[in-house]
């Protein structure tokens, strides 16, 4: 069941996304987690293993787990908070690919009163207009199903969640799309933080224009695939 070509591709893609995230400085020690749901298998998903740096993860390190946290296939353990957050988001929010990080600039914005990205500022930020949920609550580590379920409900159907005092979750229908959104989310957050640091007034665009840019980006995702394939060539 786990050796067919599609699952092998998902393993490879998830491992590549992890190495790419490490390459761009989006990881944090051996913490944080990426997952992707297995096709036609209710409750089963692929998850990065506990204890490995993202830069060293390859396809055969990826673990298959069920919604109860049991390792179905793989030779590594899984981290408890990863299980509770990702199992809930896959099950409740019905997301295929779930990327959770504490990447620096996005996390910095979760520490502010507004708790998130202004999607009317940079062009990179506009691609997320109407796609972001703000979760202002923080209840400590997700060491039980209740917190994972709370986060899943807080997404309210959106692709991107800013988790107050914590980090971000980026979801997508495919690994390459989700990774592209993760990368450009951090770029957008960095631009916002740097702009704020100047102390000068910001210059947002109107919401209608931001929405149009979001629709333009979502309407043609070839650039996301090309970026991911370039990462495959350069990072191996």
Side by side, which strands form the sheet with 97-101?
Answer: 71-73, 63-65, 45-47, 33-37, 97-101, 167-172, 160-163, 132-135
In the chain, where the domains are located = 5-235
List the beta strands (DSSP E) in 92-219.
97-101, 132-135, 160-163, 167-172
Question: Which residues fall within 8 angstroms of residue 214, CB to CB, at 6 or more apart?
Answer: 119, 126, 127, 128, 129, 130, 131
Pairing mode, if any, of strands 167-172 and 71-73?
Answer: unpaired
Long-range own/partner contacts, residues 190-193 (CB < 8 A, 24 or more apart): 190/104, 190/105, 191/121, 191/122, 191/124, 191/125, 192/105, 192/109, 192/117, 192/118, 192/121, 192/122, 192/125, 193/105, 193/108, 193/109
The Cα 175–Cα 173 span in angstroms is: 7
pLDDT at position 1 is 52
Q: Is 140 exposed, middle or buried (0-12, 13-18, 19+ CB in 10 A)?
A: exposed
pLDDT at position 200 is 97
Per DSSP, 60 falls in state G
pLDDT at position 143 is 86
Provide the CATH topology of domain 5-235.
L-fuculose-1-phosphate Aldolase (3.40.225)
Q: What is the CA radius of gyration of the chain?
A: 17
pLDDT at position 2 is 53
pLDDT in tens, the chain (236 residues): 555 888 899 999 999 999 999 999 999 999 999 999 998 766 899 999 999 999 999 999 999 998 877 788 778 888 888 989 999 999 999 999 999 999 999 999 999 999 999 999 999 999 999 999 999 999 999 888 899 999 999 999 999 999 999 999 999 999 999 999 999 999 999 999 999 999 999 999 999 999 999 999 999 999 999 999 999 999 97
- In this prediction the pTM is 0.95
Token pair in block for residue 140: 């400590």
Task: Compute the CA torsion angle 88, 153, 54, 224 (nearest 10 deg).
Answer: 120
């Amino acid at each position: 069941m786990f050796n067919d070509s599609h699952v092998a591709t998902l393993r490879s893609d998830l491992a590549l996304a992890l190495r790419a995230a490490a390459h761009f400085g989006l990881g944090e020690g051996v913490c944080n987690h990426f997952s992707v749901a297995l096709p036609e298998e209710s409750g089963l998903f692929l998850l990065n293993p506990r204890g490995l740096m993202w830069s060293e993860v390859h396809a055969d390190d990826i673990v298959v787990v069920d919604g109860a946290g049991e390792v179905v296939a793989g030779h590594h353990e899984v981290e408890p908070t990863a299980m509770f957050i990702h199992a809930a988001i896959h099950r409740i929010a019905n997301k295929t690919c779930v990327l959770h990080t504490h990447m620096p600039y996005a996390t910095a914005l979760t520490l502010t009163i507004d708790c998130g990205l202004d999607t009317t500022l940079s062009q990179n930020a506009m691609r997320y207009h109407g796609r972001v949920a703000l979760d202002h609550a923080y209840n400590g580590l997700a060491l039980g199903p209740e917190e994972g379920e709370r986060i899943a409900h807080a997404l309210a159907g959106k692709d991107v969640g800013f988790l107050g005092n914590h980090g971000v979750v980026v979801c997508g229908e495919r690994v390459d799309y989700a990774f592209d959104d993760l990368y450009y989310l951090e770029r957008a957050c960095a631009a916002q933080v740097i702009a704020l640091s100047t102390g000068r007034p910001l210059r947002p665009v109107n919401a209608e224009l931001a929405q149009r840019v979001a629709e333009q980006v979502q309407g043609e995702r070839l650039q996301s695939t090309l970026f991911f394939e370039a990462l495959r060539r350069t990072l191996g």
